[in-house]
Amino acid sequence: MIDPDALARSLPAPMVFVDLETTGGNALEDRITEIGVVEVGPHGVEQWSTLLDPAEPIPPFIQKLTGITNEMVKGQPSFGTLAQGLAERLHGKLFVAHNARFDYGFLKNEFRRAGIAFQADVLCTVRLSRLLFPSAARHGLDALIARFGLMPQGRHRALADADLLWQFWQKLHTLYTPDLIGQAVQRVTKRSSQPPQLPDEAIDALPDTPGVYLFYGEGDILLYVGKSVDVRARVRSHFSSDHQVAKDLRISQEIRRVEVHRTVGELGALLRESQLVKQLQPVHNRMLRRAASLYSWQLTQDSDVPQLVSARTVDFASAEALYGTFSSRASAEAALRALADEHRLCCAQLGLEKAAKGRPCFGYQVKRCDGVCVGDTPLAAHTERTREALATLQLKTWPYDGPIAIEEHGMREDGDGKDSVIGHGGGTLDGNAHGDLDGHNVEYHVIDRWQYLGSVASREALDTFIDTMPAATGFDPDIYRLLGRRLAASQPAEPTGEPTDKAAGRAADANTVLAEPPKVGSARRPCAPLTVLQLTRPAFRLSHVEPPDDATLRKKPRGVALLRRRQPRPDDPNQLRLPLDSVGRVA
């Protein structure tokens, strides 16, 4: 048995177990009707509770659930009259609640209305239960009552529920040592160390939906771009008070504002993050930046030695027999040397070291080469083993005839609804914390030749975007890593008929692309299915040209002729020839 007073006095820091009853579930609009607090610390155990007048009607179903009626709260004190005393009671103590985000959010908003900036270190007993009892199926308060034999003094009343959390805390000390409980608490505690430069409500106002967030510093310098399926939670994690990550500490000291671009799902957030990092070059982002050079090993069928090729001279989206992507020659050679060591290949034959013909390489002398350099192994066998070693790095060519749109669905149904293009051109940032895609629960992500071109929020916007979308300018290794296994390893269905209108011509067939089933014994997670629309770029068109006046002809006598004879650019393989009817009209 645990002595509650002795346990309370032995705690390293005081705690408050808190529960609220409210008029609803929206912390920005609804109000608190009852507060219950169990305070434990060096003084022992104290309990405190009060009803509050919410200044608004309590919905009937909540009256039935809690037993708190409009008549009971009429004439009770408002939160504002008790705010100062309650803030002093809670100050400096670990704030413990079940589904703590709910209770803590309501209190922060009520304190804000009263003109008090309230912050506390927060421990959610739901998260603590999940960590300590991972095999349990449920972690709600009723489940804890049943599992641990807690003794409720009532249900859905603030002080009774707060007391149940204190009982749960006591029960934990009969099952685990104080040190283990302390470690678990440290892992799940959300420490409130919001940078003082940010407004108190800045993080609370962020959406808890997928999206990309941007941190700006003094002078509106972009510090960092990140993504998450829950933006608010991820941003908070940057500012944990223990500052275990040096980068987060620097960001916390430099940040002045946060900007959010919402997406309907994780894929859109990943694509948008990659694009923004490359475009804007944030100070604290190192990954995802565009490499100055990109290299790959190429071993064609008629060659015995892999050649290092550059993306400046070889199209990585269509070239065959490419292996790996590397940001420098040194990293490419290091990767090939590691494969040579693992597969007993000859570094001299691979061109990684100089050796006179017929003389053994260094690997042969230390028994790491099978001897192709001295004729002990046939060259053809060594080449075949080289291909097998490189196979794990092989790049897959772009598996479509042109650009595609990946359809991604989400669950968001809020907002006023407006079509918008994300990521087209320079990517204008509007600073709206509610994002670019309010009101939409679908996005179409346009990809061409392993490059992300942009996203739109409707089929109509997609059709417009196709007419103006930029051409793919180069292979993006980050997009390849993100989508390569989910697209290139899949076999889309063939289109079923000719398109009959503009939209159908642009999106010939919506195919659900399913990845290959995982091989037996494979540790890789199976790919999720993607819905892919195969697109066709619009034909190159000549616009009408007014006849030039005499002065123009004297200055540039060949200008019109050059314009009329201009051919599609050779670096854009998707550019189509002039339609016959267009040629006829110009002629």
Residues identified as active-site: 156
Written as six digits, the tokens of 173 are 């000390």
Give the DSSP H/E element, type plus range, for residue 21. Answer: strand 15-22
447 membership: H or E segment, kind and range: strand 442-447
Could you tell me the strand order of the sheet in which 507-513 lies?
452-456, 442-447, 404-409, 530-535, 507-513
Q: What is d(CA 154, CA 403) in angstroms, rounded to the nearest whole number?
A: 62
User: What is the DSSP annotation of 546-562?
Assistant: PPP-HHHHHH-TTHHHH
Q: What six digits make up the tokens of 479?
A: 């997009």
- Label the pairing between strands 122-124 and 94-97: parallel
Contact 154, 19 (CB under 8 A): no
* CA-based nearest residue to 234, from 267, 269, 200, 199: 269
DSSP for 335-349, written as a single string? HHHHHHHHHT--TTT
Q: How far is CA 570 from CA 314, 389, 575, 577, in A?
A: 14, 35, 9, 12
The answer to whether 136 and 129 are in contact (CB under 8 A) is yes
* Interatomic CA distance for residues 535 and 466, integer angstroms: 8
Burial of 122 (0-12, 13-18, 19+ CB in 10 A): buried
Nearest alpha-carbon partner for 65 in 153, 127, 158, 150: 158
386 φ, ψ (degrees, to nearest 5): -65, -45
**Which 3 state secondary structure label does DSSP give 23?**
coil
Sheet holding 122-124, edge to edge: 44-51, 32-41, 15-22, 94-97, 122-124
Whole-number Å distance between alpha carbons of 378 and 362: 19
Length of the chain (residues): 587
Q: Are the CB atoms for 350 and 372 separated by under 8 Å?
A: no
Give 211's strand partners. 228, 262
Return d(Cα 24, Cα 68) in angstroms, integer. 13
3-state helix, strand, coil in the chain (%, to 5): 35, 15, 50
**Residue found under tokens 């009853």:** 21
461 φ/ψ angles, rounded to the nearest 5 degrees: -65, -35
Edge-to-edge strands of the sheet including 322-326?
307-310, 295-298, 322-326
The alpha carbon dihedral of 388, 392, 395, 398 has a sign of positive
